[in-house]
């Protein structure tokens, strides 16, 4: 198999390839996705696709990394960190929960589980670029809040993971197991409010 260093990330058709691959992988899964279909949906030749990604696994990893980066940015970037923690955490929880319940997050999680033995690096990449990155970014904010005296936390990485788990209450498991596929604003806001209330009850100054 090729390595990540073999990927060519420049060229005008690179974004087309990624967009086409994302669509096909979400529809057919990793194993079911064919290079022919990806090239067709992307609007490029197979030769062009292979010039960017000599291996289908590399292409899938690139799609996962790219999407996880976008999700992390949507969830935790562009927040006004100077606002009171309850307001910042409420907005972060809302964005995080929407990301967790997104079609991409659910499908990739299932693919990671299904392909764990044959494709172990996929799980590592998804964890590193997804949950681990989110924990690091949230930890950065929590450190700032502790320094300002608005939160009191001894173990910041643990607190960041706890907050993420609080945001997954009820709805995430229902989504993962296919018990529920659509979630209204009231359901999401209830989980968000409860998560922030519990977190602030434990760590509020």
Can you give the pLDDT at residue 47?
92
Instruction: Work out the widest C-alpha separation in the chain, in whole angstroms.
Output: 59
- Enumerate residues 6+ apart whose C-beta is below 8 A from 13: 42, 44, 48, 52
Can you give the pLDDT at residue 201?
98
Can you give the pLDDT at residue 75?
64
pLDDT at residue 30 above 80? yes
Judged by average pLDDT, the poorest of 55-64, 84-93, 149-158, 183-192 is 55-64
Q: Which residues pair with 151 in a beta bridge?
A: 204
Can you give the pLDDT at residue 127?
82
Can you give the pLDDT at residue 4?
52
Q: What pLDDT band is residue 125 in, cutting at 50, 70 and 90?
A: confident
Q: Are 90 and 196 in contact (CB under 8 A)?
A: yes
Q: Over range 26-38, report the average pLDDT.
A: 89
- Rounded distance, CA 119 to CA 129, Å? 16
The Cα-based distances of 168 to 7, 14, 52, 66 in angstroms read 34, 34, 36, 23
Residue 78, SS3?
coil
Can you give the pLDDT at residue 7?
64
Whole-prediction pTM value?
A: 0.79
Domains of the chain with CATH codes = 8-54 (1.10.10.60), 65-203 (1.10.357.10)
Question: Using one digit for the tens of pLDDT, what is the confidence trace for 157-192?
Answer: 999 999 999 999 999 999 988 899 899 999 999 999
**How large a percentage of the chain has pLDDT more than 70?**
91
- Enumerate residues 6+ apart whose C-beta is below 8 A from 107: 26, 29
Average pLDDT of the chain is: 87
Can you give the pLDDT at residue 2?
47
Residue 204, SS3?
strand
């Amino acid at each position: 198999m090729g390595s990540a260093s073999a990927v060519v990330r420049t060229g005008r058709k690179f974004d087309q390839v990624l967009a086409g691959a994302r669509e096909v992988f979400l529809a057919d899964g990793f194993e079911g996705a064919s290079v022919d279909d990806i090239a067709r949906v992307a609007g490029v030749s197979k030769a062009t696709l292979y010039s960017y990604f000599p291996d289908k696994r590399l292409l899938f990893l690139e799609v996962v990394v790219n999407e996880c980066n976008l999700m992390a940015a949507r969830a935790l970037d562009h927040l006004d960190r100077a606002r009171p923690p309850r307001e910042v955490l409420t907005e972060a929880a809302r964005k995080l929960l929407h990301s967790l319940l997104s079609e991409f997050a659910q499908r990739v999680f299932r693919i990671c589980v299904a392909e764990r033995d044959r494709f172990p690096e996929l799980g590592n990449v998804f964890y590193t670029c997804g949950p681990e990155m989110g924990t690091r970014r949230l930890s950065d904010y929590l450190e700032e809040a502790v320094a300002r005296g608005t939160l009191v936390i001894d173990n910041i990485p643990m607190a960041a993971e706890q907050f993420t788990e609080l945001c997954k209450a009820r709805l995430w498991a229902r989504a993962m197991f296919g018990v529920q596929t659509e979630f209204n604003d009231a359901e999401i806001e209830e989980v968000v409010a409860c998560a922030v209330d519990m977190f602030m009850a434990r760590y509020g100054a």
